[in-house]
A and B are shown apart, each in its own frame.
Chain A
Amino acid sequence: MTSLLQAAALTLPHVSEETDALRHDVRAFVREAEDRGAFTPRCDSWLAGFSPEFSRELAQRGWVGMTWPATYGGHEQTAVARYVVVEELLAAGAPVAAHWIADRQSGPQIYRHGTESLKRRVLPAISRGECYFSLGMSEPDSGSDLASIRTTATTTDGGWTVSGTKVWTSHAHRSHFLTALCRTSEEDDRHAGLSLLVVDLASEGVAVRPIRLITGAHHFNEVVLTDVFVPDEMLIGQEGDGWRLVTSELALERSGPERFMSTYPLLEAFAGQVRSKSTAEQRAALGALVARLQALRHLSLVVSGVIASGGDPVVEAALVKDMGTRFERDVVETARRHFTRTGDATFARLIDEGLLSAPGFTLRGGTNEILRGIVARALVAP
């Protein structure tokens, strides 16, 4: 059984005075940016709020690539400091989608396991807020069963030739790179023979087609790779490491505040409604949501502390994401039940944004059914 699920062990990370000061700075900045019209707070801003300008502005302040060494353009900050920055941005509903995947996941993966030339090529650019990544995991016939993917990479002179189709690839039409899980050999163990390659989306043979959401919005894509050449230096880790690398980044992918704060701007607006005119019932509804949010925030912070100290809390991350994504949906349902839509256009818009993005909350990054299986198997493991 893993430690955080046990009754005894639990350590809240220390939040230093520097981190408190950083929180204050980020908060002041995003409010100033909102006031000057740099963005309008929205639900699901980490996926739907794509703004290269805003990403660059954050990067100029040192809030992208925060934990990496200065050699690669990073700022050598702690994981807790990054956590604080990220939750402040999400609380504000700021448009952080452009750099989100690169900063959260692909950058750290490349920093740990990438070749030196790949690190030098992408990490400084990510830290400048200029280089964006998409994740190439799911395929038309491979969703939860990721090991069944069929995209292949075969060796060629100086690199790999990649062919296959990836789907649900957010922002592939405006990202620079795709980290693609590919089959590089056929093995008896289907988790073996997989490798992680960084594909330059400007390469010849890459075709990106939109898959529009129920609203018509475009962030999903189908990415068809036809004999795409990928140089050797773009392999992350070793050939055959793909499964291990992909599962090791799951803790980063699933434990962060974006897994329970996608509808936070609506919760803020709901609190505004409750403050202006409310019954005891409505104050209690707000209180109940806040109690859950606070529990999730601190659970997530504990997990980030474990990651920072070198642990790999995949199970706890699954737990956070399962609970958090259900919370995100409950925020929407509670808010709409307690106030009518009339009278406050912003409140009504945020409810609609929340509702229209909610089906994705419990699907993306691993369905809740898969997540619960991960948690339960860890609980009953001898």
Chain B
Amino acid sequence: MTDDRALLRDTAAAVFSAWAARGAAELPDDWDEALWLELEELGFTLVGISEEAGGSGGDLAASLDVVRAASFVGAPIPVATSALIAAWLLAEAGREIPTGVLAFLVIDKDMCPTVAADAVAFGRHARHIVVAKASAGSVLDLACVDRSVCAVEPGEDIAGEPSDRVEFPPSSLDFVSTSIPVAALQARFAIVSCAVISGLLDGALASSVTYATQRAQFGRPISRFQSVQAMLAELAGYASAARVATETAIALYASPSWELASFSAAAYAAEAAGPAAALAHQIHGAIGFTDEHPLGRLTRRLWAWRDVWGNERMWAERLGDQLMTPDTRLWDALATASGP
């Protein structure tokens, strides 16, 4: 790991752990504007976007490190969608990146020009909404809409985060074609959701370890019971593997194996999220199932993120589809010259 990367990680971890230290009861579930502004100040809301494009610099690894740090504490801010998807798309398209929260939406190519969309994450807090649709030739058309012209009806997702219905007025969707392949966005979805889930799994593991060490029953910490140890170990396995999968995909970014590695990471993480959340809750007992304990902030987001741009079944199928080249061996696709 480079020193720069370690420094960024430490900074991000410090910001988010200070935020979480306020205690579960003090922390909002759905949006924390003060935190967002602090992140904006630090450049974390445009990390991974080059300075020429109006971002704060840093590579994919740096931006995913921020996402993982935010996820580690279940922070209610849309840094993953705003910085890593919406801003990234605008930067790739050579468009100007407006300030403030960017929401993001993919629409069906037949839905234009007047649309209403459900489940726009953080729609009500966005200043702009980036809308993508696939055009002929498997590249994306993009529109960047001022949210204030839209009607927003609040909703929430399973994590309690804003998931709003947005109505775009006629002709507000001014699509411009880009050369961004649809496949590039798919791979981006994959790596971002894997990184979010990886951060959440690490957070759930850390919380489980702390709880199992501190909670005593039958006169000893529950971490001494073999059945609890088995659950901790299994949870640690999910968390470690999701972390490695994320790192591997990062290492293969822009290589011929990138798509396969990112789909693989997403399929693994989405599959791990459910059983890992169940393990974490079982380890924590009843307190973890209450709003007095921060665990729910993590597990609710695990349940949300494993479904966000495709669930484990869909990612696995996309991965499987990549492996259908006839007359080759599976192994040739898995252990390639370019990758670790």
- Please indicate whether A and B come from the same complex rather than being unrelated chains: yes
Known contacts A295-B242, A319-B237, A380-B212; A369/B323 CB under 8 A:
no
Q: Is the Cβ of A4 less than 8 Å from the Cβ of B316?
A: no
Is A88 among interface residues, defined by CB-CB distance under 8 A?
yes
- Cβ < 8 Å to B, chain A residues 320-356: 322-323
Once bound together, how far apart are the Cα atoms of A119 and B223, in whole Å? 43
For B209, give its contact among A11, A284, A301, A379 (CB under 8 Å): A379
Q: Is the Cβ of A5 less than 8 Å from the Cβ of B240?
A: yes
Bitwise, B226-253 to A at CB < 8 A (1) or not (0) is 1011101110110111111101100100
- Cβ < 8 Å to A, chain B residues 206-220: 206, 209, 212-213
Known contacts A15-B340, A322-B233, A323-B237; A287/B323 CB under 8 A:
yes
Once bound together, how far apart are the Cα atoms of A294 and B9, in whole Å? 25
Is B321 among interface residues, defined by CB-CB distance under 8 A?
yes
The interface on chain B, measured as residues whose beta carbon lies within 8 A of the other chain's beta carbons, has a size of 63
Q: Is the Cβ of A290 less than 8 Å from the Cβ of B247?
A: no
Is A271 among interface residues, defined by CB-CB distance under 8 A?
yes
Is A214 among interface residues, defined by CB-CB distance under 8 A?
no
Residues of A within 8 A of B137 (CB): none
Residues of A within 8 A of B233 (CB): 318-319, 322, 371-376, 379
Main secondary structure of the interface of A (DSSP, over half): helix
Q: Is the Cβ of B323 less than 8 Å from the Cβ of A271?
A: yes
Q: Is the Cβ of B313 less than 8 Å from the Cβ of A284?
A: yes
**Of A264, A323, A374, which is in contact with the most chain B CB atoms at under 10 Å from its CB?**
A323
- Cβ < 8 Å to B, chain A residues 33-80: none
Residues of A within 8 A of B314 (CB): 284
Q: Is the Cβ of A275 less than 8 Å from the Cβ of B267?
A: no
Q: Is the Cβ of B317 less than 8 Å from the Cβ of A376?
A: no
Residues of B within 8 A of A293 (CB): 334
Q: Is the Cβ of B268 less than 8 Å from the Cβ of A295?
A: yes
- Min CB–CB distance B206 → chain A (angstroms): 7
Once bound together, how far apart are the Cα atoms of A369 and B248, in whole Å? 29
Once bound together, how far apart are the Cα atoms of A23 and B335, in whole Å? 9
Size class of the contact patch on chain A: 35 or more
Residues of A within 8 A of B329 (CB): 268, 271
Is A202 among interface residues, defined by CB-CB distance under 8 A?
no
Once bound together, how far apart are the Cα atoms of A286 and B320, in whole Å? 6
For B247, give its contact among A12, A267, A282, A296 (CB under 8 Å): A12
For A380, give its contact among B199, B223, B241 (CB under 8 Å): B223
Q: Which residue in chain B gives the minimum CB-CB distance to A92?
A: B331
Known contacts A287-B316, A291-B268, A380-B223; A24/B337 CB under 8 A:
yes
Q: Is the Cβ of B226 less than 8 Å from the Cβ of A301?
A: no
Residues of B within 8 A of A4 (CB): 240
| A-B residue pairs in contact (CB < 8 Å), sample of 15 | A5-B236, A7-B243, A8-B9, A12-B244, A15-B340, A84-B335, A87-B335, A284-B314, A284-B317, A287-B323, A288-B271, A291-B268, A301-B340, A375-B233, A379-B223
**Which positions in B face A, CB cutoff 8 Å?**
1, 9, 13, 68, 72, 199, 202, 205-206, 209, 212-213, 221, 223, 226, 228-230, 232-234, 236-237, 239-245, 247-248, 251, 261, 263-265, 267-268, 271, 312-321, 323-326, 329-331, 334-335, 337-340
15 further interface pairs, Cβ-Cβ under 8 Å (given A280-B317, A299-B241): A10-B243, A24-B337, A274-B323, A283-B316, A288-B319, A291-B264, A291-B265, A294-B261, A294-B264, A295-B265, A297-B334, A298-B244, A322-B237, A369-B230, A374-B233
**Top 7 A-B pairs ranked by shortest CB distance?**
A283-B320, A376-B229, A287-B320, A287-B319, A287-B316, A372-B233, A291-B267
